[in-house]
């Protein structure tokens, strides 16, 4: 844990901001995957988008652990 309470709170705020941004990013990726004509028949592109979503979900899990362990 960080020794200075103000710095610790700043870090928590940054993690929360990143968590929120990642959730929005995942929504955008899912919209692109599900509605894009360019991706409709491109299985490789869909696999890449799905991988990006999984990695972003992994980050969200870590961020939630940091935020909710306090």
Tell me, what's the pLDDT at 70?
Answer: 65
Domain count, the chain: 1
Tell me, what's the pLDDT at 2?
Answer: 60
2-56 residue pLDDT tens: 678 899 999 999 999 999 999 999 999 999 999 999 999 999 999 999 999 999 9
**Domain with 46 in it:** 5-68
**Number of neighbouring beta carbons within 10 Å of residue 33:** 17
Residue 60 pLDDT greater than 80, yes or no: yes
Distance, CA of 66 to CA of 13 (rounded, Å): 11
**What is the widest separation between alpha-carbon atoms in the chain?**
53
Residue 58 pLDDT greater than 70, yes or no: yes
What is this structure's pTM?
Answer: 0.86
């Amino acid at each position: 844990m960080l020794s200075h309470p103000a710095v610790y709170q700043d870090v928590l705020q940054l993690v929360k901001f990143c968590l929120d941004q990642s959730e929005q990013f995942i929504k955008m990726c899912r919209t692109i995957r599900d509605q894009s004509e360019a991706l409709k028949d491109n299985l490789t592109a869909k696999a890449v988008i799905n991988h990006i979503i999984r990695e972003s979900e992994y980050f969200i899990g870590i961020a939630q652990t940091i935020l909710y362990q306090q």
